[in-house]
Chains A and B, each alone.
Chain A
Amino acid sequence: MVPDNLDEAVNKSNSVPDLEVKPQDLYHANSFITRWIFCQDAKVIGIQYSLTAIAIGLVAMVLSWMMRLQLGFPETFSFLGPAEYYQFVTMHGMIMVIYLLTALFLGGFGNFLIPLMVGARDMVFPYVNMISFWIYFLAVLILVASFFVPGGPTGAGWTLYPPQAITQGTPGSGWGIVLMLISLSVFVVGFTMGGLNYVITILQARTRGMTLMRMPLTVWGIFTATVLALFAFPALIVSCIMMTLDSLLGTSFFMPTMVELGEKLEYGGGSPILFQHLFWFFGHPEVYIVALPAFGIVSDLISVHARKNIFGYRMMVWAIVFIGALSFIVWAHHMYVSGMNPWFGFFFATTTLIIAVPTAIKVYNWVLTLWRGNIRLTLPMLFALAFIVTFVNGGITGLFLGNVIVDVPLSDTYFVVAHFHMVMGIAPVLVVFGAIYHWFPLITGRYLHEGMGQFHFWVSFLGSYAIYFPMHYLGFIGVPRRYYEMYNSEFIPTSAEGLNQFITIAALTVGFAQIVFLYNIIVSSKFGKLAGKNPWQACSLEWQTPDVPPGHGNFGKELPVVYRWAYDFSVPGAKEDFIPQNVAPNEVPEAKAEQT
């Protein structure tokens, strides 16, 4: 149907981008509104995404303090009833997973770093990119609105399992849940627009010489995560649409025949487990949507600050791709005790434990990059090290929960809470911090304050470890999650109360350190020490821009041409211990790359 010649003609017209910039091709912002609000520059959009995500993330952090106050000191705070508690749990979880981490890694870091790192002037569809941010912003507004509607936000737990999510016994089962579902659907629509941009920019708009295998691992991580998101988010929107109809129009997609509080409801015949399958078909890739960009970024942080190429680059790329592919066939490990056919357990336990192998390889390669490196203990490096500790800790508890029989006593206890907070809360957030300390000099041209940074690092790392490591042991006792309070259960030793108080205090302390961090960002962006060009002496392209911070179009008049991979650190014979990607071989005559 599609003739070849037309295809070619079209391709020729916009295939290889010219190195020199044509003025009409570049989007120029000329007023305040187009420069900072409805801006089409990916870097500004990235910052807009990040600031929105961090702002809503702060709300989620305050919610977590409320929860911890209740758990550490039950019956002390009269404003915390069970309904409020469950609403806070739900909103905390949903905000952190979707509106903070997903938006920050892909919308924030993705937008800022992709064009710079692959040597493009901007995303391929800048206008769609701008729309994407504003749709995300709308989703956040709808989410926030649910705090102010009658009945309050939904308290269905972040998994929103029906039938409970839309029946009377759950707080926010009227307005709250509907707004939540709409907000999620809007988020997915916005994200799909952004995701399209990231994928096509990485595939089609790289600069000359930038092969896929020359890209920094950050780009690989974000790329794979975006592909996962494009494939996984439809499952979320499908389940949201169907549940909205169940809630508003009385259909019975997920709603079985049921008697609630002595009354037979109109519903009948639906399958609650079907929702769980859909939800986790999205939900498990979602874990990797957050984790893969973190893997990529941390690889780059370690490599740059250890002054050594990332060990086993190819294996790292394969592991990212392999993990991404496998993540679609492990979802039911969240449902071992959900009442699904128990024979599924064999299959999903096996696939889940297989995914541990590439993940372990990544960990080995990070620590082997440290081996015989020349390690600068800068703040980004510290955060990367803390990431390794927390990620390995959270990863191995995943081996407990992925192994179907071990999951039986531990599922729905605090062990699970500790596990996923360690592995997809603390570990990625530490990477976010590391990344901010690393790229802040590129965004603003200034360093973050070192002293405050050290304080922030040690309190965040040790504090969050002190929160979640002991929490696993509550899970071993059998303390169930999502309990507003435990009363005096006989099987729980009374000393567990002390442990809960300790965890609460640690959580508040860690929260306080984040305020110091925010203060640091605000003050340092104006008064921080000037960083100059390429302060960390990195090789990748984002540090090679003519201006710092990079302007519109990123690379000034001419796009860089790439001659090497992103990890030419400590090349034997070279004068410096790094050779940027855009330095031609004849410009470093002393260097001879070793054959391996």
Chain B
Amino acid sequence: MFVAIMLTLVTVGSILFHFFSPWWWTEVASNWGNIDDTIILTFWVTGSVFVAICLFSAYCVWKFRYQKNRRADYEPENPKLEWWLTILTALGVAALLAPGLVVWNQYVTVPKDAYEIEVMAQQWYFSYRLPGEDNKLGTSDIMNITDDNPFGINPNDPNGQDDVLIDGDDIHLLIDRPTKVLLRSIDVLHNFYVPQFRAKMDMVPGSVTYYWFTPTRTGYFEILCAEYCGTGHYAMRGWVSVDEQEDYQAWLQEQETFEEMMARNNDNKEIEIVAK
């Protein structure tokens, strides 16, 4: 009796916890609200199975508790019942999988007009690069990285000259513009994750990964590294600000391009030489 009650309490407790818990996801700030929907769907399907199985066991434990002069049934199998359960489970699983794959298809199919930005990770911070006026990011290579050229942009690539560089500051995004983030790392694995955007992808040294989203709500959101990257992993944060058009333009005007940065570096060097 006691065991049956405890099993029931665990089940009911779990349900109550779910409905009354103050811990739930943040309000979504991107177009990936349908990811939340797939989670909710999974919740209902699997949650009801969990509750059914736990309550059924609790009932059995109470109803068929040991009695000296009773015998258990002798029933090696019941193929009909087993096959029905198999088919039902398969249907349930298919009901979870199909919508999931549809949304995944959206996730990996980047719209053609998506605005490309680059996020570059290293231990333990993010920096960003916007394509500038020509809307094209210049090529880059880890081998080009120097103190003057921290992004490793190819200095001979005309597309790279007007790239806007944001090193050690927040990134701003324009609301309602589909954005494709190109992810690059120059040392170890990292991940670019904003809880409110729901999306994430690892950044792998030696290759460029990507995902896309459309910010749908203005605000100031925290960026987290979600792939373990060494002792400073927990401190690897950044901030993204989703702006309306006006604010965004104002911010963009203030940023430095690659050309300007190289020029500034050269000036600094000349000043140093002169000073010497």
Contact = CB atoms under 8 A, between A and B. Distances in A.
The answer to whether A and B touch directly, with their CB atoms under 8 angstroms apart, is yes
Given A163-B188, A315-B77, A353-B96, A375 B205 contact: no
Contact of A399 (B25, B73, B93, B122): B93
B60 interface: yes
A405 B67 contact: no
Interface stretch (B78-86, B160-168, B241-249, B265-273): B78-86
A300 to B, nearest CB: 15
Given A350-B97, A377-B65, A405-B100, A258 B76 contact: no
B115 to A, nearest CB: 20
A215 interface: no
B252 interface: no
A216 B163 CA distance: 68
A476 B14 CA distance: 15
Contacts of A489: 222, 224, 237
Contacts of B112: none
Nearest to A350: B97
Interface in A154-187: 155-157, 161, 163-164, 167, 169-171
Contacts of A312: 76-78, 82
A22 interface: no
A370 interface: yes
Contacts of B143: 257, 264
Contact of B10 (A307, A462, A570): A462
Given A400-B42, A405-B103, A490-B222, A357 B86 contact: yes
B199 A477 contact: no
B78 A259 contact: no
Given A356-B93, A371-B64, A385-B7, A343 B42 contact: no
Contacts of B201: 337, 339
Nearest to A86: B231
A558 interface: no
A476 B24 contact: yes
A234 interface: no
A150 B168 CA distance: 34
Nearest to A81: B231
Nearest to A315: B82
A483 interface: yes
Contact of A577 (B71, B107, B228): B71
Contacts of A388: 53-54, 57
Contacts of A356: 89, 93
Interface string A341-376: 011011001100110110011011101101111111
Given A406-B38, A406-B42, A367 B53 contact: yes
Nearest to B9: A462
B50 A372 contact: no
B89 A306 contact: no
B157 to A, nearest CB: 19
B139 interface: no
B206 A271 contact: yes
Contact of A339 (B78, B100, B209): B209
B101 A339 contact: no
B134 to A, nearest CB: 27
Interface stretch (A103-111, A407-415, A515-523): A407-415
Interface string A390-430: 00110011011001111011111100000000000000000
Chain B, interface size category, equals: 35 or more
Contacts of B76: 309, 311-313, 567, 596
Interface in A284-325: 306-309, 311-315
B202 A337 contact: yes
Given A169-B230, A308-B72, A337-B191, A374 B66 contact: yes
B72 A259 contact: no
A370 B222 CA distance: 50
B35 A409 contact: yes
Contacts of B11: 389
B71 A161 contact: no
Contacts of B42: 399-400, 403, 406
Contacts of B78: 311-312
A470 B17 contact: yes
B65 A375 contact: yes
A505 B182 CA distance: 42
Contacts of B61: 370, 375, 377, 385
B23 A495 contact: yes
B123 interface: yes
B66 A345 contact: no
A167 B50 contact: no
A260 interface: yes
A480 to B, nearest CB: 5
B204 interface: yes
A353 B77 contact: no
A374 B61 CA distance: 9
A345 B101 CA distance: 9
Contact of B104 (A157, A349, A399, A484): A349
Nearest to A164: B188
B187 A260 contact: yes
Contact of A493 (B22, B54, B196): B22
Interface in A554-592: 567, 569-572, 577
B49 A392 contact: yes
Interface in A442-496: 458, 462, 465, 469-470, 473-474, 476-478, 480, 482-486, 489-491, 493, 495-496
Contacts of A311: 75-78
A408 B199 contact: yes
Contacts of A496: 23
Nearest to B102: A405
A396 B10 contact: no
Interface in B99-119: 100-101, 103-105, 107-108
B93 A389 contact: no
Contacts of A376: 66
A242 interface: no
Contacts of B225: 480
Contacts of A17: none
Contacts of A364: 53, 82, 85
B100 A272 contact: no
Contacts of A365: 82
B207 to A, nearest CB: 7
A527 B229 CA distance: 51
Contact of B35 (A375, A405, A477, A478): A405
24 contacts: A163-B187, A164-B188, A169-B230, A170-B230, A259-B142, A261-B123, A272-B205, A273-B207, A312-B78, A349-B101, A361-B82, A367-B57, A375-B61, A385-B57, A392-B54, A396-B49, A396-B50, A413-B226, A478-B25, A483-B234, A485-B234, A493-B23, A499-B23, A570-B73
Given A409-B25, A489-B237, 7 more contacts: A155-B231, A167-B187, A337-B202, A342-B107, A370-B64, A377-B61, A478-B224
